[in-house]
Chains A and B, each alone.
Chain A
Amino acid sequence: MDASLPAHMRPERSFQGFILALQRFWAEQGCVILQPYDMEMGAGTFHPATTLRALGPKPWNAAYVQPSRRPKDGRYGENPNRMQHYYQFQVIMKPSPPNLQELYLKSLAAIGIDSAVHDIRFVEDDWESPTLGAWGLGWECWCDGMEVSQFTYFQQVAGFECAPVAGELTYGLERLAMYVQGVDRVYDLNFNGRDGDAKVTYGDVFLQAEREYSKHNFEVADTTMLFEQFKMAEAACRKYLEAGWKDGKREAHLMALPAYDQCIKASHVFNLLDARGVISVTERQSYILRVRELAKACGEAWIHTEAGGAA
């Protein structure tokens, strides 16, 4: 930890200081520090900086915070740590550096988790995203029995082999910050590191939003519109993919990113419909497959772009 930091910016004092510490650490490892993607998504992995950039031969190191929306996890602000909106901190390094585990442990030290007094463990947890057609092997990282991060070596994304393999780290920011700050309820997190009247808590920022969105996600979200949106996003994705092939030949693609936005959109709309309980068990599988087909087609388009490594 950086001793020169003012008290309110220290990772164990403020949520924002916590995020800044992580960003600074990974910036020092050569990552580009991106800002959150400007679309609703269920996990930081959906950010094109991970999904698409994991494909193709070009080296890529990035880190960013991504708000993650899980409509089904809403609890009207009543559960101490479950929310329909929370933050993930995502790191991707391609190819995975040989010392990625050490870097990860150093990043924990940077946010105030000292490996001399904590019990840090790598426990098997293989990662799979059916909607992204992606899988990898790795661990959930435990600190004193609590899962604090997900550590994955991507083997396949959008149905394509990762060559080279990217290493991905996902930190559950609120949970880690709660641990470091020593609070049991997420809404009690000190957001800005100030005391007294100047103090702003996580609850001050997000509690009302959790209540409102829980009501929206479970009770009110317009399902007719959402079903329509899903279809529209799916159709738009296919349309942009089709139109993106340069000169109509499947050699170079010019619109992988806009098409992929529609895939992200479809995935989130599906999550909302799922939370509304209007998708049956059998339908559920077919929706997941439809999103996966979009993700695969986007991945194929991406590897035919410049950033995707096409000649």
Chain B
Amino acid sequence: MPDLLLELFSEEIPARMQAKAADDLRRMVTDKLVAEGLVYEGAKAFATPRRLALTVHGIPARQPDLKTERRGPKIGAADAAVQGFLKATGLTSLDEAKIQRDPKGDFYIALIEKPGRDAIDVLAEILPVIIRTFPWPKSMRWGARSGKPGSLSWVRPLHAITATFGLETEEPDVVKFSVDGIETGQTTYGHRFMAPAAIQVRRFEDYEAKLKAAKVILDPQARKDIIFADAKELTFAQGFELVEDQVLLDEVSGLVEWPVVMMGSFEAEYLAIPDEVIRATIRNNQKCFVVKDAKTGKLTNKFVLTANIEAADGGKTIVAGNERVIRPRLSDAKFFYETDLKTRLEDRLPKFEQIVFHEKLGTQAVRIKRIERLAAEIAPLVGADVAKATRAAHLAKADLLTEVVGEFPEVQGLMGKYYALAQGEDASVAVACEEHYKPQGPADRVPTDPVSVAVALADKLDTLVGFWAIDEKPTGSKDPYALRRAALGVIRLIVENALRLSLMKVAASALAGLSVKPADAQKLPSDLLTFFADRLKVQLREQGARHDLVDAVFALGGQDDLLMIVRRVEALGKFLESDDGKNLLAGIKRASNILSIEEKKDKRSFDGTPDPALYGLGEEKALAKAIGEVQAEAGAAVGKEDFAAAMSAMAKLRPPVDAFFEKVRVNDDDAKVRENRLKLLNEIRSATRAVADFSKIQD
């Protein structure tokens, strides 16, 4: 079966957009083929800075024919109806129609055959539409045609379209169409500098090979492999080690069609700058890799660059040029770093009085004061020294005003630590300057130093409570202040450090520190708690745990100790995996269901202790006894925060509950007996509420 080759040749496509664009092209073309009844065998898409390419192989040469039947008028119907039928179906006379027998009267049937079209014609129709509607994140117009409405938008000017279709054994045909004046053909171009001439291509195999001969590596993965392997080898040969960087590798491979890896160096004096700053300088501005000494793990004065050309002089000029650019950049970075060291962090703070954190939440200076107060309050709860936590909160944001962080925002916090250490701060205080931002996401490390934990919690809770107070909560996909991440951070800080903290109390305290007084201040902490519950569910779901159990625990009310909530959920989860758990859950649900039906019927609840005198059957007595024991035992276990033991105690309810439902009819004819039995069922429900509300658990 024939194959399709499609190439869209343009001016340089931004590196960050290439992978998605290749994927979009493959998806859009193949989806459309399938929708047109053309089921293909395989497809692969590629991108370089100057082209998007797609090969789809094994496309049927023709669409299958479509046969449809159309019901016509009854035999003997009025002539107008017959004529209408003939016109609609394209039949010349009723002789061409079939007759369908039917007890309600026989009628005519027209068989309409829609012959499938040649795949190449279908392609000529769908490809221009895909090009015109391609989902670039940002696209533009260009050239003379941009003066008229309806001109093509592409990521950068599009110059040529290659589109061929045919069998491996034959000369393929060009899929003929044009988009905004660009006619399809079989001509593409090689490397911009090394092989700029036009190349005639037939199909994917010769296309890829001819491009390679013209110094273009089509496959981004192949370019990555080359860069990575060459960079490793080059550094290894000199006794060093490449600092691997996947994100940079992805970007760099999207900036070249023919990667040529080379190594340059800079003056060793710049190694006095912190490694992270050197790396940020070289990586962000120059898109080069840094190199470390394998023994010490420290950076060396080397860097690895990826050029797009095999230069006539072997790359000497290119290496020298890159060194000339990196030198002043490092010189700037060193100057910034040394300038920063001259000012103590606390001396920078007055400037925060001029910087607005949020219009309604005041300046950064005010915010820092709030975090200090809250950190001091949280410190004893997490085992941190109050003075150190206060000091850390005082200094933690100061590095935002340093030159280095101004230049490289990604080293915020880290520079705070360096500067704090340089001015002789306590090690925990310095570390907290860095760690109070953590954890930044689900994969980030959670700090364990109590001082870091106290400031990290204070920072995040101040943010959460603040934005809650001014009603800037996340909605749908919008979360401009990253409040979901902050909440997840609080959860992880508490749970992974096994901290005991009443969130309601801390939130209320954070609220008291705010100058804005929201109208529903009373409700705010519990509202925020619901948000935490939702985040906890999301997190458990991502870990593959049952998130419905969170609802079951929160339904008990008054639960604001995240650690205990998680422990309850864990014990509950484990219990529900056992047979006892499953059966008891079934029993409890049955009891709940009966109760809610009867409660509705009688318009009353069945609270209150059952009367032992009304027990008529052994199963009732046994159940009542078991409930009494379980309540005492589970209650004691919960008191000791041993939720597993509470669950084992509850497991003892299973046999009497099962026996009760087997032998006892709840809706007894005697109203008193019935009421008593319903009260007994209610007792099961309340006994099990020691750990969770089982009725909220999904089956």
Interface residues of A, Cβ cutoff 8 Å to B: 57, 80-81, 95-98, 101, 115-124, 126, 136-139, 143-146, 153, 155, 162-165, 167, 179, 184, 280-282
| Contact among A120, A145, A162, A282 with B288 in the assembled complex (CB-CB below 8 Å) | A145
Asked whether A184 and B328 contact (CB < 8 A) given A117-B312, A122-B12, A281-B355, the answer is yes
Bound: A156/B584 CA distance, A: 69
Bound: A64/B494 CA distance, A: 63
Interface centre among A80, A143, A144 (most CB of B within 10 A): A144
B264 nearest CB across to chain A (Å): 9
- Do B318 and A118 touch (CB < 8 A)? yes
| Contact among B141, B157, B356 with A98 in the assembled complex (CB-CB below 8 Å) | B157
- Do B143 and A145 touch (CB < 8 A)? no
Bound: A255/B11 CA distance, A: 39
Q: Does B309 contact A (CB under 8 A)?
A: yes
24 contacts between A and B (CB under 8 A): A96-B146, A96-B157, A97-B143, A115-B193, A116-B193, A116-B311, A117-B317, A121-B256, A124-B16, A136-B140, A137-B156, A144-B321, A144-B325, A145-B287, A145-B305, A153-B141, A153-B142, A153-B157, A162-B141, A163-B146, A164-B146, A164-B147, A184-B327, A281-B354
Bound: A122/B15 CA distance, A: 10
Supplied contacts A81-B328, A98-B143, A118-B318, 12 more A-B pairs, CB within 8 Å:
A101-B11, A119-B307, A119-B318, A123-B12, A124-B12, A137-B155, A137-B156, A145-B326, A153-B140, A164-B146, A184-B328, A280-B354
Bound: A207/B147 CA distance, A: 46
Q: Which residues of A contact B604 (CB under 8 A)?
A: none
Q: Does B324 contact A (CB under 8 A)?
A: yes
Q: Which residues of A contact B326 (CB under 8 A)?
A: 145
| Contact among B11, B140, B322 with A165 in the assembled complex (CB-CB below 8 Å) | B140
When C-beta atoms are compared, the residue in chain A nearest to B196 turns out to be: A102
Bound: A117/B288 CA distance, A: 19
| Contact among A95, A119, A167 with B309 in the assembled complex (CB-CB below 8 Å) | A119
Asked whether A57 and B11 contact (CB < 8 A) given A117-B312, A118-B321, A124-B16, the answer is no
A55 nearest CB across to chain B (Å): 12
Q: Which residues of B contact A119 (CB under 8 A)?
A: 307-309, 311, 318, 321
- Do B321 and A143 touch (CB < 8 A)? yes
A-B residue pairs, 9 tightest by C-beta: A144-B321, A124-B14, A164-B147, A122-B12, A119-B307, A145-B322, A165-B146, A137-B140, A95-B144
- Do B312 and A164 touch (CB < 8 A)? no
Q: Does B45 contact A (CB under 8 A)?
A: no
Interface centre among A97, A144, A145, A153 (most CB of B within 10 A): A145
- Do B142 and A96 touch (CB < 8 A)? yes
- Do A155 and B255 touch (CB < 8 A)? no
Q: Which residues of B contact A123 (CB under 8 A)?
A: 12, 15, 255, 287
Asked whether A184 and B11 contact (CB < 8 A) given A57-B147, A119-B308, the answer is no
Bound: A155/B144 CA distance, A: 13
- Do B143 and A144 touch (CB < 8 A)? no
- Do A117 and B144 touch (CB < 8 A)? no
| Contact among B138, B140, B255, B354 with A121 in the assembled complex (CB-CB below 8 Å) | B255
- Do A95 and B146 touch (CB < 8 A)? yes
Bound: A255/B317 CA distance, A: 52
Q: Which B residues from 137 to 165 make CB contacts under 8 A with A?
A: 138-148, 155-157, 159
A58 nearest CB across to chain B (Å): 10
Asked whether A145 and B144 contact (CB < 8 A) given A120-B193, A122-B11, A281-B355, the answer is no
Asked whether A184 and B146 contact (CB < 8 A) given A122-B11, A145-B286, the answer is no
Q: Which residues of B contact A146 (CB under 8 A)?
A: 321, 324-325
Q: Which residues of A contact B288 (CB under 8 A)?
A: 145
- Do B12 and A139 touch (CB < 8 A)? yes
Q: Which residues of A contact B355 (CB under 8 A)?
A: 281
Interface centre among A163, A164, A179 (most CB of B within 10 A): A164
Bound: A111/B140 CA distance, A: 30
When C-beta atoms are compared, the residue in chain A nearest to B322 turns out to be: A145
Asked whether A165 and B143 contact (CB < 8 A) given A101-B11, A280-B354, the answer is yes
Q: Does B313 contact A (CB under 8 A)?
A: yes
Bound: A95/B146 CA distance, A: 8
Interface centre among B16, B324, B354 (most CB of A within 10 A): B324
Contact with A along B368-400 (1 / 0, CB 8 A): 000000000000000000000000000000000
- Do B317 and A118 touch (CB < 8 A)? yes
Asked whether A117 and B328 contact (CB < 8 A) given A96-B142, A122-B12, A137-B138, the answer is no
- Do A281 and B356 touch (CB < 8 A)? yes
- Do B322 and A144 touch (CB < 8 A)? yes
Q: Which B residues from 309 to 343 make CB contacts under 8 A with A?
A: 309, 311-313, 316-318, 320-322, 324-328
Q: Which residues of A contact B318 (CB under 8 A)?
A: 117-119, 144
Q: Which residues of B contact A116 (CB under 8 A)?
A: 193, 309, 311-312
